């Protein structure tokens, strides 16, 4: 084979847009497998609706309709009662990859990259060749509708058929046609995703019409909006050299000393003085824009030697114990549950996070099987259900690391649901599809502690239930022989058999006080539950 020159090779050199990259690698956005692809579409639109409604202070009402239009081809429509999208931003919001209101903000939120909705537009386009249809409010009671597609070469939107609407319209409605997808009523399908969304967002009401035209409604469990997440500043411990340089070159501060105080959390003038003592070759009076790479390296080394206060967790808004109780009661209606909210912890990079866990027993908890029941693991990150990549997730690893038999719980045979939610400004996902939490040691350890604490609460209930059942069995067995014993004693003593039977029953009832009046041990269960409520 003849050698080729560099000039000949580089004749094929070409730049590509981020849209073209994801067009060829759509599996990185969660579009892998027909069932998962359909769930991903619904997930992206529902997540955007939730974030928009919450930012506007509106209790979310979300309608999801899926209609079969061909073999492995469905029309998906998601509507909400939120603020809508201003007309001038609709193209960029729904058809420009890495554009949005979230990526640049250091605040807890469901979506982060600005890929989701644009990814749906791209997926519709590459599987059906059709644009998405949008109807949105535009403020002051006005509305508009249009069709949107994506120019993958330039990563720019094409907005067509734009029409202003008469009359009052509120919210956003997005409708698209998608192929290479499949609706399946399984543990990994759209219904399960929406059910879990209602579990982790008890303030939302969701109406779902499936491809068989059957309507499912997940009723709002609480009528109060959750607190809004507050933006926070990055913590110094999470910085790399390049991060520090980027912040320095973008700041409006005139001195390096003031730059640190104004740009980073937990950084006071005293902490700056400590940095000065360690990084002695760096001039803290210099313009931050003139900071060099060697100086930034020295500063990062100094930062890691200073003892910092942990990041402020006020920016983290967990679901809350009471809301989780309402949601579990509303959706699973368990016999008993124990909910735990742990104190904020920090994982690698100085990023704070909060773990919430619950163990629900009985009722609709777990899965129904041919043998009876089995346990279910319900994973969430910033209130978003994680249905796929369970084996690659820190939550799964932590739960499987618990010795459940110690807590009288068998995940293979009992109706138990294990609920875990991680809340953080930055959830370390294991992939772009955001379906699994990265297996950071600190996160696994904290999840395990939370789940074990919740399991201890349920253990008391199960023991009480088993004890009551045992006592009830002994009581009933003894009572079965009361008449025979009374008759035998009457034959020996000449006493009245009926009176003797009555006395024997009173004696047995006195020994088993909780069994009288057909109680069957329910008082034991009530006392166990009350004890758990007191412990909480």
The CATH number assigned to the domain holding 262 equals 1.10.8.50
The domain that holds 463 is classified in CATH as: 3.30.230.10
Report if residue 3 sits inside a domain.
Answer: no
Contact partners, residue 180, CB within 8 Å, separation at least 6: 31, 34, 37, 72, 127
Residues 207 and 243 placed together within one structural domain of the fold = no
Q: Are 291 and 196 contained in the same domain?
A: no
Contact 422, 355 (CB under 8 A): yes
Q: Is the domain of 474 the same as that of 327? A: yes
β partners of residue 336: 361
Residues 6+ apart with CB under 8 A from 23: 122, 126, 152
Structural domain contains residue 298:
yes
Tell me the DSSP string of 232-249: -PPPGGG--HHHHHHHHH
From first to last of its 536 residues, the chain has per-residue pLDDT tens of: 678 777 766 666 555 555 565 555 555 566 788 999 999 999 999 999 998 999 899 999 999 999 999 999 999 999 999 999 999 889 888 877 655 444 444 556 665 444 678 889 988 998 999 999 999 998 777 899 999 998 877 778 899 999 998 877 889 999 999 999 999 988 899 999 999 999 999 999 999 999 999 999 999 999 999 887 777 788 888 788 988 999 999 999 999 999 999 998 889 999 999 999 999 999 999 999 999 999 999 999 999 999 988 777 777 889 999 999 999 999 999 999 999 999 888 787 667 899 999 999 999 999 988 878 899 999 999 999 999 999 999 999 999 999 999 999 999 999 999 999 999 988 888 876 788 999 999 999 999 999 999 999 898 887 766 555 555 666 676 677 777 777 777 777 877 878 777 877 777 777 666 555 444 444 444 444 444 444 43
Q: Let me know whether 265 and 191 are in one domain.
A: no
Give the chain's end-to-end CA distance (angstroms, integer): 77
pTM above 0.85, yes or no: no
Residues 6+ away with beta carbon under 8 Å from 502 = none
Tell me the residue range of the domain where 522 lies: 311-536
Verify that 377 and 261 share a domain, yes or no: no
């Amino acid at each position: 084979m003849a050698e080729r020159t560099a000039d000949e090779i580089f004749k094929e050199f070409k730049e590509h847009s981020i849209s073209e990259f994801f067009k060829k690698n759509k599996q990185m956005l969660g579009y892998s497998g027909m069932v998962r692809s359909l769930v991903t579409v619904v997930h992206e639109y529902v997540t955007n609706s939730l974030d928009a409604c919450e930012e506007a202070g509106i209790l979310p009402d979300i309608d999801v309709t899926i209609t079969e239009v061909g073999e492995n081809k469905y029309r998906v429509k998601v509507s909400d009662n939120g603020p809508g999208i201003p007309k001038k931003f609709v193209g960029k919001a729904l058809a420009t990859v890495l554009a949005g209101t979230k990526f640049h903000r250091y605040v807890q939120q469901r979506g982060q990259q600005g890929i989701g909705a644009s990814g749906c537009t791209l997926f519709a386009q590459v599987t059906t060749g059709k644009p998405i249809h949008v109807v949105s409010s535009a403020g002051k009671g006005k509305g508009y509708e249009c069709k949107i597609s994506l120019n993958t070469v330039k990563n720019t939107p094409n907005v067509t058929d734009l029409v202003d609407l008469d009359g009052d319209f509120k919210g956003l409605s997005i409708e698209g046609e998608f192929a290479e997808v499949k609706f399946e009523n399984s543990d990994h399908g759209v219904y399960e995703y929406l059910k879990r969304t209602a579990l982790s967002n008890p303030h939302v009401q969701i109406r779902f019409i499936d491809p068989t035209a059957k309507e499912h409604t997940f009723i709002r469990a609480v009528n109060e909006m959750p607190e809004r997440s507050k933006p926070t500043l990055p913590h110094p411990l999470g910085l790399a050299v390049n991060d520090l340089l980027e912040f320095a070159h973008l700041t409006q501060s005139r001195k390096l000393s003031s730059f640190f105080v104004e740009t980073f959390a937990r950084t006071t003038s005293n902490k700056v003085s400590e940095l000065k003592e360690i990084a002695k070759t760096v001039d803290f009076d210099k313009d931050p824009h003139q900071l060099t790479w060697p100086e930034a390296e020295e500063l990062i080394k100094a930062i890691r030697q200073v003892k910092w206060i942990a990041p402020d967790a006020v920016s983290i808004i967990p679901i809350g114990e009471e809301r989780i109780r309402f949601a579990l009661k509303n959706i699973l209606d368990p016999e008993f549950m124990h909910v735990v909210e742990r104190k904020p912890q920090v994982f690698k990079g100085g990023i704070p996070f909060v773990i919430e866990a619950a163990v629900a027993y009985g009722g609709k908890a777990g899965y129904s099987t041919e043998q009876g029941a089995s346990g279910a693991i319900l994973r969430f990150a910033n209130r978003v259900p994680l249905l796929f990549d369970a084996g690659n997730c820190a939550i799964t690893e932590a739960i499987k690391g618990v010795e459940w038999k110690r807590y009288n719980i068998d995940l293979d045979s009992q109706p138990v649901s294990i609920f875990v939610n991680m809340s953080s400004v930055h959830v370390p996902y294991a992939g772009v599809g955001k379906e699994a939490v990265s297996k950071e040691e600190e996160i696994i350890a904290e999840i395990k502690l939370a789940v074990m604490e919740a399991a201890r609460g349920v253990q008391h209930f199960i023991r009480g239930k088993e004890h009551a059942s045992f006592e009830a069995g002994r009581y009933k067995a003894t009572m079965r022989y009361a008449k025979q014993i009374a008759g035998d004693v009457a034959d020996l003593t000449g006493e009245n058999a009926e009176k003797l039977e009555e006395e024997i029953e009173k004696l047995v009832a006195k020994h088993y006080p909780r069994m009288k009046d057909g109680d069957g041990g329910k008082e034991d269960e009530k006392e166990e539950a009350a004890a758990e409520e007191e412990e909480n």
